[in-house]
A and B are shown apart, each in its own frame.
Chain A
């Protein structure tokens, strides 16, 4: 299967004034198409930095990053923006929706950059809205929705451009357990039924359980990389079987 993500000895060093802080210290990993990976680790372990680099929001100081076999580690800001636009989707802890902008317009946001909205695009957006059960909220504003609904809008926005990789940074961090489960179900469903590759950052074991592979970071290095150990049948597979 095709490698979606290939990291080769990636380092990231920040300069905080005089002191150089090593956030990533030689990370190598591959993610294959259709995988659902959870990245865990204590705070300061380099999760966020890794996510920023994987999400093309930042470039590694050293090492190589191939996204769909294209080396993006030395791309310019504008080239990275284009990669984010075409190949990546983001789901954040605090939703990061545009306020005073309707749900529909929030979801269409990635599509308006770089090109005009085409008919297949709008059809696709409507399909996504239906899939995520947001039809009746299209004209609503984010502050009129509950947390779970807002996160569903964010997910819809993340997949509007049909990304090869969906990055979710603590997507349930601001949600109660019931809505968390709901959101995780949505992600699992996207992974199983739409084949979207998902990388999930979390510090909750309950959430990581939904992934089929768990990578644990420590001090900027991969500590362990194992299949989900919570049960013989990961939660996501169970979900897949029930939904499909």
Chain B
């Protein structure tokens, strides 16, 4: 009934300051809910993107026992030498839950092109590395088995390295120098972005691992073995198989600890996901509390308003307003207050999330369902907290109400 809205709006306009303060409570509540949920969603989508960038089903085998303290020099040296090329081959041959394996060894060094130089990670990898990491090429080709076998002096560059050494030039078939050894650029990787730990994954030069071992580092051991399980579900099976195989190969007795660790990146990332989900939930619930506080503000003001307008209620009843007419009148008023608050709150929430994301460098993902829910919730808050005062008003005795001073 449009008359109800007219009456409600007039009553709201009657006391502008009071109404705006009441609305402000809802604005802050709705705004906070929207901002918090968008920030949480933004964080979640960032983690999701990073999770994708790691590559699905990736397992890392590192030559250090997680139970060894990193400060133990003996543990470190002992650990460093534990993984071998033969381990890699054995995993590839014997572990049924594993479909791709790549040995890898990594060092930090300076690479030079012309008069440009750049300090970066040089990673020695196998042909399967590209599949395991699910990392497409932008141009050229990837390292193949022949490159590994002949210790070819070839390399594949990450985007950050390309940008720093070549600028806008096409690096394919150019020669870069590492420790005065020339390497031919055979491929360029696509952009991968940051890892969940915040590392720039594009700041890398990939070479055959044999090349890095002999031509650059002069070592025979491996740094890390990359492997991928057949599917996400066989992840744990793959970990078990690799662990059993390596224990056997390293001749570890049952009471001895592993001298290596198998890490599933997915587990790591999903921990972060879980954390960000919990954060979203926590922030959202704190924000909802402020929405409820806003609702209590509405209830408070409606109670004051119905008391002040007791005579008006009496007059309306005398001329024939029924209980439900009075109930709806005040319920409409409360709901109009809260929906104005909800609408302004949506704008406030959007602005707030943009501000937080621009100042905090944190992505904010506005979620339309969250906005709709926050708005609906604000209306429900209006109805819920407006009901008691409205019912109180509607139950007034007309004679007493008319006599009220």
Q: Determine if A58 and B315 form an interchain contact, defined as CB atoms under 8 angstroms apart.
A: no
A6-B322 Cα distance, complex, nearest whole Å: 25
- With beta carbons under 8 angstroms apart, the residue of B10, B311, B314, B325 that contacts A113 is B325
Chain A: minimal CB distance from B238 (Å): 73
Give chain A residues whose Cβ lies under 8 Å from the Cβ of B399: 52, 57-58
Q: Which one of A58, A85, A100, A101 contacts B319 once the chains associate, using CB atoms below 8 Å?
A: A85
A157 / chain B contacts, CB cutoff of 8 Å: 319
By a CB distance below 8 angstroms, the chain A residues around B14 are 100
B316 within 8 A of A: yes
Q: How many residues of B contact A (CB 8 A)?
A: 20
Cβ-defined contact, A82 with B322, below 8 A: yes
Indicate if B55 sits at the interface (CB-CB under 8 A).
no
On whether the beta carbons of A92 and B402 are closer than 8 Å, the reply is: yes
Summarize B's interface: helix, strand, loop or mixed.
helix
Q: Contacts A52-B399, A92-B402, A96-B402; is A81 near B10 (CB within 8 Å)?
A: no
Q: Does A209 contact B (CB under 8 A)?
A: no
CB <8 Å contact, B10 and A109: no
B321 touches A81 (CB 8 A): yes
A92, A97, A110: the one contacting B320 at CB < 8 Å is A110
**Chain A residues whose C-beta falls within 8 Å of the C-beta of B402 in the assembled complex:** 57, 92, 96
Given the complex, which residues of B lie within 8 Å of A90, measured CB to CB?
A: 318-319
Residues of A near B315 (CB, < 8 A) are 96-98, 109
Q: Which of A87-132 contact B (CB under 8 A)?
A: 90, 92, 96-98, 100-101, 109-110, 112-114
Q: Is A232 close to B, CB under 8 A?
A: no
Task: State in angstroms the CA–CA spacing of A85 and B320 once bound together.
Answer: 4
The verdict on A86 contacting B398 (CB below 8 Å), with A98-B312, A112-B3 known, is no
* Interface residue tally for chain A (C-beta within 8 Å): 25
Count chain B CB atoms within 10 A of each CB in A52, A77, A78, A97 and give the residue with the most: A77
In the complex, A84 has a CB within 8 A of chain B: yes
**A57 close to B320 (CB less than 8 A):** no
Q: Is B317 on the interface with A (CB-CB < 8 A)?
A: yes
Q: Is the CB of B398 within 8 A of A113?
A: no
In chain A, positions 23-45 with a C-beta closer than 8 Å to chain B are none
A82-B323 in contact (CB<8A): no
- Kindly list chain A residues whose C-beta atoms are within 8 Å of the C-beta of B314: 96
Q: What is the bound-complex CA distance between A86 and B322, given in angstroms?
A: 12
Structural contact, A77 and B316, CB atoms closer than 8 A: no
**Given that A52-B399, A58-B399 are known contacts, is A100 also in contact with B10, CB under 8 Å in the complex?**
yes
Enumerate chain B residues within 8 angstroms of A97, measured Cβ to Cβ.
315
Q: Of residues 44 to 101 in A, which have CB atoms within 8 Å of B's CB atoms?
A: 52, 55, 57-58, 77-78, 81-82, 84-86, 90, 92, 96-98, 100-101
Q: How far is the CA of A22 from the CA of B150 in the complex (A)?
A: 117
Give the residues from 307 to 344 in chain B that come closer than 8 angstroms, CB to CB, to chain A: 311-312, 314-325
Q: Report B-chain residues with C-beta under 8 Å of the C-beta of A109.
A: 315-316, 319
Residues in B neighbouring A55, C-beta threshold 8 A: 318
A161 to B322, CA, bound (A): 16
Question: Is the beta-carbon distance between A84 and B323 smaller than 8 angstroms?
Answer: no
B323 close to A78 (CB less than 8 A): yes
- Contact between chains at B320 and A113 (CB < 8 Å): yes
A52-B399, A113-B325 in contact; A84/B319 too (CB < 8 A)? Answer: yes
Interfacial chain A residues near B321, Cβ < 8 Å: 81, 85, 113
* A133 CB to nearest chain B CB (Å): 22
Chain B contacts for A78, CB-based, 8 A: 322-324
Chain A residues with Cβ under 8 A from B316's Cβ? 109, 113
Per the bound structure, the CA–CA distance linking A85 and B319 in Å amounts to 5
Binary interface encoding of chain B residues 374-401 relative to chain A, with 1 for a CB under 8 A from any of its CBs, else 0:
0000000000000000000000001100
A39 CA to B68 CA, complexed, in Å: 104
Decide if A86 touches B319 in the complex (CB within 8 Å).
Answer: no
* Cα distance A60–B312 in the bound complex, in angstroms: 25
User: How far apart are B259's CB and chain A's nearest CB, in angstroms?
Assistant: 85
CB distance from B97 to the nearest CB of A (A): 74
Residues of B whose CB lies within 8 Å of any CB of A are 3, 10, 14, 311-312, 314-325, 398-399, 402
Q: What are 30 A-B pairs at a CB distance below 8 A?
A: A57-B318, A57-B398, A57-B399, A57-B402, A58-B399, A77-B322, A77-B323, A78-B324, A81-B320, A81-B321, A81-B323, A82-B320, A84-B317, A84-B320, A85-B319, A85-B321, A96-B314, A96-B318, A98-B312, A100-B10, A100-B14, A109-B316, A110-B320, A112-B3, A113-B316, A113-B319, A113-B321, A113-B322, A114-B320, A114-B322
List of 4 A-B pairs having minimum Cβ-Cβ separation, nearest first:
A85-B320, A110-B319, A81-B322, A113-B320
Give chain A's interface residues, CB within 8 Å of chain B.
52, 55, 57-58, 77-78, 81-82, 84-86, 90, 92, 96-98, 100-101, 109-110, 112-114, 157, 161
